[in-house]
Amino acid sequence: MDIQVISIFPEMFLAITEHGVIARAIKQGVLNVSLLNPRDFANDKHSTVDGRPYGGGPGMVMMPDVMASVIEAALENAQQRKQADDKLGKTKVVYLSPQGQCFTHSAAKNFAENDECDSLILLAGRYEGVDERVLQRYVDEEWSVGDYVLSGGELPAMIMIDAIARLLPSSLGNVESAEQDSFSNGLLDCPHYTRPEQFNGEPVPQVLLSGDHQAIETWRLKQSLGRTWLRRPDLLENKALTAEEIRLLDEFKLEFNGCNGSEFE
Ligand SMILES: C[S@@+](CC[C@H](N)C(=O)[O-])C[C@H]1O[C@@H](n2cnc3c(N)ncnc32)[C@H](O)[C@@H]1O
């Protein structure tokens, strides 16, 4: 996958491109991340990228001519890369915005698995955002990382890159680990334990020491179902449970209610 990011703070992206899963994916050639700085496309000696808003009010707006030039340059790069590598598919221009659709695990999966569109241009806004005419002309999709406003689109862009990169084939050390994470099967992940067996007087659940793989798998599924019921019941509303899953969840509820003396439904 080829990702170009447009940002006036390109150095921020070293935080992800030089560490962990993303650094490994880049090294393995599964992912390419490059940066374009709108200041390099500005038309004055001060490298100005923002102007005062028409109609007045606080804040500045990213200028349409500068932003159009940098997006055009990114589209041109994508075109050239496609000519050099015929495996690369369509390019999508994405604007990170609190007004966009909410970025989720399934959105990340769609980006990671969509071979027809494996070239992304991520536009990170600053100030009050980007002149609307540029968004209208160039942007294919707007994505938000949550219902709050950040000072820039850099962190949201990094969140998108990280969530997508770890789902790219062969970018995680252990492929299974992404499949077991929260949301991958519509449930939250089960709890995890490591050495020592006793910590502050608390033992590791006995079944995890049993070596019985079937029993361990069943316990993990039951914990996953139970946690989702306790913490994110909305996820269960959208999931069709098998008869076995219903039985395990009922068992979990009984044990939970027994421990808490409460009547959770
Ligand atoms: C201060 S914000 C501008 C917010 C804009 N005036 C609004 O209220 O919709 C500056 C930039 O941060 C980014 N941003 C802020 N919050 C975000 C979020 N929740 N998701 C994605 N991007 C966000 C966008 O790129 C935005 O252009």
The best mutation among 5, 6, 94, 97 to test binding of ligand 1, ranked by most ligand atoms within 8 Å of the C-beta, falls on 97
Closest residue by CA, ligand 1 atom 5: 128
Q: Mean pLDDT across the stretch 163-177?
A: 76
| CB distance 123 to ligand 1 below 6 Å | no
For residues 217-230, average pLDDT: 98
Cβ of 186 closer than 6 Å to ligand 1, yes or no, is no
Give pLDDT tens digits for 124-151.
999 999 999 999 999 999 999 999 999 9
For residue range 29-39, what is the model confidence (pLDDT) as tens digits? 999 999 999 99
Ligand 1 pocket, residue 151 CB under 6 Å: yes
CA of 97 to the centre of ligand 1 (A): 5
Confidence of residue 264 (pLDDT cuts 50, 70, 90): low
CATH number of 2-175: 3.40.1280.10
Task: Check if 2-175 and 198-260 are the same fold.
Answer: no
Looking at every residue in the chain, the average pLDDT score rounds to 94
Residue 229 has pLDDT above 90, yes or no: yes
Average pLDDT over residues 159-177: 81
**Which residues sit opposite 50 in a β-bridge?**
62
Mean pLDDT of the region 192-217: 98
Is the torsion defined by CA of 215, 189, 186, 227 positive or negative?
Answer: positive
CB contact at 8 A, 62 and 38: yes
For residue 176, what pLDDT is reported? 59
* Domain residue extents for the chain: 2-175, 198-260
Average pLDDT score over residue span 160-172: 88
Residue whose entry in the numeric block shows the structure tokens 């700085």: 37
Average pLDDT over residues 214-229: 98
Q: What is the token pair recorded at 30?
A: 């599964």
For residue 148, the ligand 1 atom closest to its alpha carbon is 19
Q: What is the CATH number of domain 198-260?
A: 1.10.1270.20
pTM exceeds cut of 0.75 = yes
Please tell me what DSSP assigns to residue 239: -
Active-site residue, 118 included: no
Structure tokens at 16: 């992800």
- The stretch 1-21 carries a mean pLDDT of 97
Through-space distance between the first and last CA atoms of the chain, rounded to whole angstroms: 45
CA distances in angstroms from 234 to 187, 191, 225, 227, 240, listed in the order given: 10, 20, 12, 12, 12
Q: Which residue has the tokens 């269960």?
A: 236
202-203 vs 61-62, strand pairing mode = unpaired
Q: How far apart are CA 7 and CA 10, in angstroms?
A: 6
Assess whether 166 carries a catalytic annotation: yes
Would you tell me how many other CB atoms lie within 10 Å of the CB of residue 150?
15
Distance separating alpha carbons of residues 43 and 63, to the nearest angstrom: 11
pLDDT digits (tens, 9 = 90+) for 112-123: 998 888 999 999
